[in-house]
Amino acid sequence: MEWLISSGQVSYPDAVAFMEARVADIRDGNEDELVWLLEHPPLYTAGTSAKTGDLLEARFPVYKTGRGGEYTYHGPGQRVVYVMLDLKKRQSAPDIKKYVWQLEEWTIRSLAALGVQGERRDGRVGIWVGEKEAKIAAIGVRVRRWVSYHGIAINVNPDLTHFSGIVPCGIRDYGVTSLTEVSGGKAAMDQVDGALKACWAGVFEDEGFSAAA
């Protein structure tokens, strides 16, 4: 299991090319599993369920992508977490729903370590906070031959106005927020990374841990 933190901003096409190569190597037993932490320059991505009408204004480059979900935004101040795991080795019976539940749980525990209560919402993808019912983290995954990639995007301190060019994840009735906004101060990216690392084992490495039925 390897952790990689990229400095600077990684272009989306370069990130996808890297993930696809790494996924193939993991499946063939040539590379270790990987959690990759990075930031992208401002851009929008369209998942496999994206609706044309949810792209309101192409303010930034738009990329079609094979991950699940609809439109989302990536940009500076957002911690993107690409998770490449061999689900066939990790699960006795590979279960994508369980894996997504684990990504959600990992995000919730990491936010809790930073003093923020993140929650699931029935019928809505992602992690939500507060009475404002605002999304703080988006989740979208792809699995190839039972190796996962893509993953999570946590809003640490991005420019939230950049989300206005899309209907994030196809949900019109609720907004987006960030760690900086909900905590009342500037959130540090290295603190987020530390929380993610600290909370990983309790969800993904604990043999006694399983998703709720």
Q: Enumerate the active-site residues.
A: 169
Q: Nearest CA to 203 among 37, 90, 127?
A: 90
| 94, two tokens | 């590979």
Instruction: Dig out the tokens for 43 from the structure.
Output: 């851009």
Q: Using CB atoms within 10 A of its CB, is residue 62 exposed (0-12), middle (13-18) or buried (19+)?
A: middle
What sign results for the dihedral spanned by CA atoms 105, 107, 111, 116? negative
Report d(CA 128, CA 153) in Å as an integer.
13
How many H-runs (helices) and E-runs (strands) does the chain carry? 5, 10
Beta bridge partners of 140: 151
Q: How far, in whole angstroms, is CA 156 from its chain's centroid?
A: 12
DSSP 21: H
